[in-house]
Every structure is written in C-alpha cells, then in structure tokens.
Amino acid sequence: MIGTRKDEVNSLVFDIGVSYCFPYIIDITYPIESKKDWYNYHPGPLPEYPGLGNYADAIRENTMRFGVTLHKMTNVVDQGPIIKKKYFDLVSKPTDINELGTITHYYLFQLFKETISLL
C-alpha cells in the first residue's frame, strides 16, 4: 500500500490496516469484509501531542522530552488505545520542525521494527 492515494485506501482488501505517517484521516468504518483493525504509528507521544501540528507544539513548549506512539485507531483521530509508546530525551531544545521530525522518525522506525510482528 506504499504510495496509496487517499481515495484508494478504502477500496483495498486486507487483513489489517497500518498507517505510518499517512497525512490523511482514514475512514476506518468503511465496510470491507476482510478489514479487521487499523493501527497508527504516530510521530509524537499520545495523548500529549496529537495531530499534524505536534512538532510545532513541542517546539513552542521548549520540550526536552518527546516520543512516538503505536495505537489502535478509532473514529476519533489519535485517541485509540495505546499499544506502545517510546520516549526519548533531546540533547538541546528543538528550534525547527524538520530537526525534530528527523529525530522523531528515527525513533518511529525503531518502534515499527519492535512492534510490527505483534500486529
């Protein structure tokens, strides 16, 4: 499903859905017979930093600790049951969303490798 357009997601048949930094809201209620559960790898600690603006929020708050989250998706964005969260300390206060994003995506990929077989 890599590179799948937003309008194609709900027409696919699969066992589970995994969203890894997919920038659109996915309608998980769409009735596909083989669809079971959706999981989201979120580039921020939940529930502290939901949504797409989480890097900017962390920078504005001068955070020195950030994280990444794997959670089961529900009809409410970024509010499903948390499966695993991984925190990391920052060496200096982030000043740029690209800087924080690069660091975060390193840890998000580590979380992915640790958990994908559990899904």
The CATH label, of 2.60.40.1220, 3.40.50.170, 3.40.1190.20, 3.50.50.60, for the domain at 6-118 is: 3.40.50.170
The pTM score is 0.84
- CB count within 10 Å of CB 6 equals 11
> DSSP class of residue 95?
-
The pLDDT profile of the chain, 119 residues, written as one tens digit per residue, is 445 555 666 566 677 888 998 888 877 765 544 457 889 999 999 999 998 889 999 999 999 999 999 999 988 889 999 999 999 999 999 999 999 999 999 999 999 999 999 98
